[in-house]
Structure 1
């Protein structure tokens, strides 16, 4: 599914209005009517019921006024709560203000906090006569960038209290007020919606940080011409079922293990063999044909016993951690292999660092770089420069902080920008010019960004994944997909989504407490779900 930043969405609106000639009031009409359709589909008819609509400045408030008209047209009782003087609305919103006034719709104007407190009694009386159907947040739209304060914040608190005490559903117009459309961060105080109806295309803020304020998301076609969207050539995508189903390749009957590639993994050290095993499981459950683990020699018996489906190469100069003296032997293993996963549980010994940096710069084979390998590269200034081939980096925010020198807080404030900056910086490095670099910034709403300019936000996954080993499974999964012939971007995108989907399948039976091994084991089921063969 395509996704647009607030600026990109405004440009699409402007092109539709100014170049194509669709009046803005028509787009607003489509948005408001479609929102009422979605409300009735989710919560039943509005006929005979009160719908409380909180109106703010700008076009978001205008959308709310159109909603009020259509609620009235369907026999409902709209109650307009203006947070500004209605006479100060302009443009398309002003047109709808006048219509609502001529229709005699009930309204209440809030100028300060004391008037917010009076609302409770007014709504109680309205509910007594005509039960409340829903609360509609039409305060602020996707263009909001400032912190919400004063009586606007008081009203948001009031909506939260009403929704909690009365169990009335909250419907957000385009995006919950107070949620930044581009970063998903809270701008002071934000509405927590049960249903968000967004217009044209989804926005990053609906998915970043897992979209906890959004509730169920409905993307509404408001008749922005498909040609306009296509010509915009938007680089962003949401990784959802539809997007990934188009990417997953059909497996033919007359195939064998050689058909599906051979992955090499360098992972594990004393006390951290589990990370390597999990990466191996992620790869094997991806459907790749063969997996070989390069491991410290003294730890080899653990791998031989624990993961019989994988082959191992014990490295003689690496007793319990990886040593650069095994570089030549390791390079011999790349013949016939399609990619290298490096990092899970490797440790951060200086000798291991020498090996990681040398492979990063010399190896032409695609590399998926995770965990300790990222930390070792970050420890040397310019460690990410001069890569020898395609590189997929899979940091969590802490590792991203070490790679970029930014604080975790700064990264989390704008995850999309953080991933994009790193990919862009590496793109501008002359040594990377011919090699794609993909950054996978893990977390709720995992972000992917490529040095080629495309980016995506993941929509799968849940809080049950907040446990050790999940990233190791993901690294192996992406590597397993890469050796099967997927492009680096598709391998990363499919891997991220399927990783989350496997956890979602487990969450259907238990909200949390499942392990990384269980997520790896659920991957085949996730692939069956995405191909419709479950």
Structure 2
């Protein structure tokens, strides 16, 4: 997994490396700066004879910029140090690197107020006469610890960098994180650099991974600065993204021996559908079938059974007496058919009638097998919180932001303002001592938690904002549980693969693909992962 420490955890990681493993901080800074220059030359070609304006801010981020300047100088480039603070404000390892570059006599501008910023463009123009246009603009102003709005001449400098990049086509290299981007929240703190590439140190940061920040972060490159892996045993980081090791694990979990039969891959029962919404249950079934579930059955009200029988040949049906909606009166029939089932999906298109709500609450409490709860079933839980009993087995809740808002009794805007807090609040509210609970908060950068870890998903795109996509996901998660995955793994991998399918479809077709199209893409994406073709996904 790719861990994503927040700023405080990253500070603890640095301090652990320095204090417990006796790696001097200046060595970490040296590795950061040298690694950034190596990245720049790999992406941009030789730096020799080119000039590079480097914008220096306070703290260690400014110190990283000084190391970058020195290594560029070593490679016969011409660094231009643009100090946005008085240099004597630098302390510790940054001050040590300042003393070195001062001895080297590198070209320097001190622009610690708005009145002096005009000198930057003039100096760049002068250097461009002899060295051509800048090889890159290096943003070393603010690092991952920024927690306040960028104002004053710092904001003006960021606007100047943006203008130079936009008008002159000069790439911007962000040092550790684009200045002005909240590395924990992903929000813009006043104004923000738009980088061509970000060289982040040690580990990627949560805010950098959010899809909305792609135009600000650009291509994200993690620089190994020499932090021993043992450090992670001493600093707890509880948010991560899927990486190449996870995909290898997923591939192994999906391999099938030659003597397999359908009974080896589970039997999923889907409780969904009602007049006008039979498609929701069918899409969940389609997602399960196309992701490799051994057997899939749809629990069908008697009046809707002909629709299911004719629409999806691969799915079986369990017919109940109620003609239009699944109700509490159908519980005996449902319980009779659960003996050979591995997992249940409930909610896609069920409706929210009182009798249906009673059935949802009964099954939520009584079933010992895993249950994926989606759509109408989530809204029933939100409306009937006081009637929810302690569940007897694993439960996977899959709300989109609107459903999450109803579950928590807040607004969708509040959920979206702090998605991780909403995820944790939902987990805390619905978790009971003796059962497993998984929450998937859908949407851009979906979040999944089973309590200990939060998994941030990096796949998916706005073209997936269409009806039925969540139904396919619920079937996919149920399918993976049927195939032997733990509920939390089925959830995080299901979300990841669901987004991969959407990404592949968008690449080929643009917007306009349907939930059925996405379900039908699942075998291709799964096959690619099984064959190892997706090594660049993570």
For the superposition of Structure 1 and Structure 2, which TM-score range results when normalised by the shorter chain?
over 0.9
Contact kept, 8 Å, 1:183 with 1:415, in 2: the verdict is no
Q: Kindly tell me: are residues 533 and 85 of structure 1, through their superposed partners in 2, closer, same or farther at Cα, counting changes over 3 Å? A: closer
Contact kept, 8 Å, 1:244 with 1:493, in 2: the verdict is no
The answer to which of 208-217 and 323-332 deviates more is: 208-217
- CA distance in 2 between counterparts of 1:423 and 1:207 reads 23
Give the match's secondary structure for 1:298: coil
Q: CA deviation at 1:255?
A: 0.5
Residue among 127, 132, 135 paired with 1:133: 135
1:303 matched residue in structure 2: 308
Q: Kindly tell me: are residues 166 and 420 of structure 1, through their superposed partners in 2, closer, same or farther at Cα, counting changes over 3 Å? A: same
- CA distance in 1 between counterparts of 2:168 and 2:402 reads 41
2:233 matched residue in structure 1: 230
Q: Can you list the C-alpha shifts for 1:302-341, whole angstroms capped at 9, x where unaligned?
A: 2222211111123221x33332221221222211111111
2:450 matched residue in structure 1: 450
Contact kept, 8 Å, 2:408 with 2:425, in 1: the verdict is no
Q: CA deviation at 1:385?
A: 5.6
2:516 matched residue in structure 1: 517
The aligned length equals 528
The answer to which of 285-294 and 500-509 deviates more is: 500-509
The answer to which of 392-401 and 97-106 deviates more is: 97-106
In the alignment, structure 2 segments of 5+ residues that lack a partner are 534-538
Residue among 142, 145, 169 paired with 1:143: 145
Q: Can you list the C-alpha shifts for 1:403-447, whole angstroms capped at 9, x where unaligned?
A: 1123323322322232123223444xxxx2121111111122111
- CA distance in 2 between counterparts of 1:466 and 1:171 reads 32
Q: CA deviation at 1:77?
A: 1.6
1:54 matched residue in structure 2: 55
Contact kept, 8 Å, 1:185 with 1:413, in 2: the verdict is no
Q: Can you list the C-alpha shifts for 1:473-511, whole angstroms capped at 9, x where unaligned?
A: 111100000011101111111111111111222233233
2:536 matched residue in structure 1: none
1:245 matched residue in structure 2: 248
Root-mean-square deviation (Å): 1.8
1:202 matched residue in structure 2: 204
Give the match's secondary structure for 2:303: helix
Q: CA deviation at 1:513?
A: 2.3
TM-score when normalising by structure 1: 0.94
In the alignment, structure 1 segments of 5+ residues that lack a partner are none
- CA distance in 1 between counterparts of 2:242 and 2:13 reads 22
Q: Can you list the C-alpha shifts for 1:36-62, whole angstroms capped at 9, x where unaligned?
A: 111221222211212222211111111
Contact kept, 8 Å, 2:361 with 2:389, in 1: the verdict is no
Q: Can you list the C-alpha shifts for 1:206-235, whole angstroms capped at 9, x where unaligned?
A: 223454222211112111111112343533
- CA distance in 1 between counterparts of 2:423 and 2:256 reads 33
Q: Can you list the C-alpha shifts for 1:87-137, whole angstroms capped at 9, x where unaligned?
A: 111111111122222212222222333433443333233334322111222
1:422 matched residue in structure 2: 426
Q: 2:264 matched to 1:259?
A: yes
1:35 matched residue in structure 2: 36
- CA distance in 2 between counterparts of 1:12 and 1:341 reads 41
1:435 matched residue in structure 2: 435
1:179 matched residue in structure 2: 181
Q: Kindly tell me: are residues 211 and 511 of structure 1, through their superposed partners in 2, closer, same or farther at Cα, counting changes over 3 Å? A: farther
- CA distance in 2 between counterparts of 1:94 and 1:195 reads 26
Q: Kindly tell me: are residues 114 and 528 of structure 1, through their superposed partners in 2, closer, same or farther at Cα, counting changes over 3 Å? A: farther
The answer to which of 465-474 and 414-423 deviates more is: 414-423
1:66 matched residue in structure 2: 67
Q: CA deviation at 1:161?
A: 2.0
- CA distance in 1 between counterparts of 2:412 and 2:312 reads 35
2:117 matched residue in structure 1: 116
Contact kept, 8 Å, 1:244 with 1:497, in 2: the verdict is no
TM-score when normalising by structure 2: 0.94
Q: 2:81 matched to 1:90?
A: no
- CA distance in 1 between counterparts of 2:358 and 2:395 reads 18
- CA distance in 2 between counterparts of 1:383 and 1:40 reads 62
Q: 2:270 matched to 1:284?
A: no
Which aligned pairs between 1:435-514 and structure 2 lie closer than 5 A? 435-451=435-451, 453-514=452-513
